Structure 1
Amino acid sequence: MNPASTGEIDALILAGSPVAIGVSGGKDSQAAALATIAYLDTMGHTGPRVLIHADLGEVEWNDSFPVCEALAAHLKIELIAVRRKAGGLMERWESRWQSSATRYAELSTVTLVPCWSTPGMRFCTSELKTHPITAELKRRFKRQTVINVTGVRRAESSARAKSTIASEDKGGQLWHWRPIADWSVAEVFDAIDASGLAAHPAYRDFGMSRVSCRFCIMSNLADMTAAAAQPESHDLYRRMVALEACSSFAFQGTRWLGDLAPHLLDASGRAALAHGKSVAAARVQAEKRITMPMLYVKGWPVRMLTDDEADTLAGVRREVSGLLGLASGCLDRESIHARYADLLASKPTEKDHF
């Protein structure tokens, strides 16, 4: 199966533009790298070529980076590793919870914000992968147009089904190329096997259908169960369940990671999880009393609350703060009115954006 290309990408290749191939250790990026390098050779590409890997920290499989290293050695090109300066994804989830609790305590948000990434809010991808990779490529290849290759396939999801073969970013310095967008899973594995390289062991040894984080917000139950069966994931599992318990937010919406393999938890871990789930149920019930007009829009209140609304919000805040042990302010009508007034007075206007 040949890689797909476009006239714009071919022109950049012939002009010797740098080519950076994002590799995670997963099958699609591995196959995309193999197909891309072969295509570049055929086209007579003379520019620099690199593989680039975003290190996600503890959530990453032990074999992910070694698979990338083996690929780089096979292709005889440089492998760059980038990472978020403030820590890996697990640290991001934990710090997000601390930030959410602080913001709630000071009434900078009306309801608690989940600590986990979600399918609709994938900061795990934007902050841990896209931003570090983009920043490094722009730093390394200043004033050059870079071809950024990814292993996106249209068959992976309804969202990715809309992917184009190539697209230019807003700044114009990067062209995103998806050379295996129309490949099937079988074609991906055929390309890897034909190269003589081994695919990530999570596929054929662990029995997983996809490889990203050990426990991914996008994973199905079968993959989550397979991940939990691997000894290397047990410490991470316990750390993630501890965050579920203290935050009262399940890892996948209503699916608790702690229910997946409770035998991996000790008695205190199981007790903490049970308490966290009871807190979650009580928190959800309490927050149902908050109406839409009481919520902030883009981080700001839209109007002052009525006295009844302020009383309702005060009651909810006292209940939720007590459930989670938060030292919150603004627990009565007067302090809530004062907080809303302060926020409305400092709310940016349209003029502030010009």
Structure 2
Amino acid sequence: MPTVAVTQQIEQLIAQDAPVAIGVSGGKDSQAAALATFAYLDRKGHCGARILIHADLGSVEWKDSLQTCEILADHLGAQLIVVRRKAGGLMDRWESRWASSVERYQALSTVTLVPCWSTPAMRFCTSELKTHVITAELKRRFPGQTIVNVTGVRRAESAARSTATVADASTDGRFWSWRPLADWSEAEVFAEIHGSGLDPHPAYRVFGMSRVSCCFCIMSNVADLTAASAQPEAHETYRRMVKLECASSFAFQGSRWLGDVAPHLLGDDDRAALARAKDIAQARVAAEKRITKAMLYVKGWPTRMLTDGEADILADVRCEVSRLLGLTSHHLDRASIHQRYADLIAERDGKRIAA
């Protein structure tokens, strides 16, 4: 089997019997990481706590994901901890993000509408629903200890991960993130799983998917989205996500509409709503192109007052976007926009003085 990647700092922590927590999603990489890490810890005589931890994302999860993690935990004789975001799963987060975007836009707390979906560059689906809840649970479970947090990240997965380090410490030094499979290939990952006598997630061998995460992931290619839509258990989630595309006029993957993946799963009304959403999106984007960078907020605040001409442009754009999406927006004329910018600048300056 391939070599487990390790650093001197990780070896020292293992020798000190530091607690080791392995994040498992049900996907192949975390499954193989858990198997390889446990074997390595056994060889090193590690006697500290070892746990598997799974962040449940709610309705967007495959039903087999948790079961795959449970079978893995039984195989390793390890405790499986399941954590969840208290405010709801990922679908709830996307929907609440859209509601917040509408509220902020109507109050001119943001100049343009904020998309509801997470993106490859802004993966709050990972940071908020996985990293944050897992970190909080580990701090509670192992107070005052330095924790080794294992993930199945591999450099061969993507260009973004090609420069991943084997291990690094958090700012406060409480956590060491360890990536033991950093240099493994996909074939080596599946070999590790099959060599253990376990099966990988059914999504690989039954559904025909190349990766396992959410049923419909922001990182998925068309083939995986299509394969996911063929599974009856994903149909309700699919329709709910398409409804959010229609309500928001933001496609799930930038310019790729999830509603186009399996339109046969939608009713006539939903297909009509999707067509309208695409028209609205095109008109919204065209309108917002008139807004210059200088008119935008930076970190939630205006950088300066607008000129009369800029205020007139913003008023026209806000009227158009509000009409398109049926929003009840305020500050739709030059005078009220000037006043809103002035109030925000005063509030910003007040906060800076107080700080």
* TM-score (ref. length: structure 1): 0.98
Aligned to 1:16: 17
Match of 1:326 in 2: 327
Which residue identity is paired with 2:252? F
| 1:70-149 correspondence to structure 2 within 5 Å | 70-149=71-150
The amino acid across from 2:189 in the alignment is V
C-alpha separation between the residues in 2 aligned to 1:58 and 1:88? 7
| Aligned-pair CA distance for 1:45 | 0.4
Instruction: Give 1:348 deviation, angstroms.
Output: 4.5
Q: Secondary structure at the match of 1:8?
A: helix
Cα distance change on mapping 1:324 and 1:71 into 2, 3 Å? same
Give the Cα–Cα distance (whole angstroms) in 1 for the partners of residues 350 and 22 of structure 2.
Answer: 42
Task: Give the distance between the partners of 2:65 and 2:282, measured in 1 at CA.
Answer: 37
SS of equivalent to 2:103: helix
Identical aligned residues as a percent: 69
Aligned-residue offset at 1:81: 0.4
Find the residue that maps to 2:30 and give its secondary structure.
Answer: helix
Where 1:250 maps in the other structure, the secondary structure is coil
Q: Any idea what the Cα deviations from partners look like across 1:303-335, whole Å, max 9, x if unmatched? A: 111111111111111111011111100011110
Pairwise CA distance, 1:351? 4.9
**Alignment match, 2:56:** 55
What whole-Å deviation, never above 9, does each CA across 1:86-135 have from its counterpart, x for those lacking one?
Answer: 00000000000000000000000000000000111000000000000011
Query: 1:2 offset after TM fit, Å?
Result: 2.6
Check if 1:271 corresponds to 2:272. yes
Query: What's the CA shift string for 1:115-168, capped at 9, x where partnerless?
Result: 000111000000000000011101110000110000000001111111111111
Inter-partner Cα distance in structure 2 for 1:77 and 1:329: 56
Residues 353 and 176 (structure 1), Cα distance of their counterparts in 2 relative to 1, 3 Å cut:
farther
Query: Would you say 1:159 and 2:163 are equivalent positions?
Result: no
- Residues 28 and 188 in structure 1, CA contact (< 8 A), matched pair in contact too: yes
Quote the Cα distance in structure 1 between the aligned partners of 2:350 and 2:121: 28
- Post-superposition offset of 1:353: 8.6
- Change in Cα spacing, 1:262 to 1:106, as seen in structure 2 (3 Å) is same
Q: Distance in 1 between matches of 2:234 and 2:352?
A: 51
Partner SS state of residue 98, structure 2 = helix
Shift of 1:289: 1.2
State the alpha-carbon separation in 2 of the partners of residues 161 and 348 from structure 1: 42
Structure 2 equivalent of residue 206 of structure 1: 207
Q: Which whole-Å CA distance do the structure 2 matches of 1:299 and 1:286 have between them? A: 21
Amino acid at match of 1:127: E
Moved more, 104-113 or 340-349: 340-349
Match of 2:175 in 1: 174
In structure 2, what is the Cα distance between the partners aligned to 1:314 and 1:297? 19
> 2 CA distance for matches of 1:50 and 1:2?
22
Stretch moving more, 3-12 or 236-245: 3-12
Change (3 A) 1:225 1:352: farther
Alignment of 1:264-303 (within 5 A): 264-303=265-304
Q: Residues 208 and 223 of structure 1 are in contact (CA less than 8 Å); yes or no, is this contact kept in structure 2?
A: yes
**Ranges in structure 2 where 5+ consecutive residues have no aligned partner:** none
Q: Please state whether the residue corresponding to 1:142 is helix, strand or coil.
A: coil
User: Superposition pairs for residues 168-317 of structure 1, below 5 Å?
Assistant: 168-317=169-318
Asked if structure 2 preserves the Cα contact closer than 8 Å seen for 1:304 and 1:340, the reply is yes
Name structure 1 gaps, 5 residues minimum.
none
Indicate how the Cα distance of structure 1 residues 352 and 20 shifts in structure 2: closer, same or farther if over 3 A, else same. farther
SS in 2 for 1:63: helix
SS of equivalent to 1:342: helix
The CA deviation at 1:204 is 1.2
SS in 1 for 2:168: strand
CA distance in 1, matches of 2:79, 2:40: 18
Q: Secondary structure at the match of 1:347?
A: helix
Call closer, same or farther: CA 1:327–1:351 in 2, change over 3 Å: closer
Give the superposition deviation at 1:275.
Answer: 1.1
Question: CA separation in 2, counterparts of 1:72 and 1:130?
Answer: 20
State which drifts further: 9-18 or 26-35. 9-18
C-alpha contact (below 8 Å) 1:2/1:35 kept by paired residues: no
Task: State the partner residue of 2:35.
Answer: 34
Deviations 1:243-301 (A, max 9, x none): 00000000000000001110000011111111111111111111111111111111111
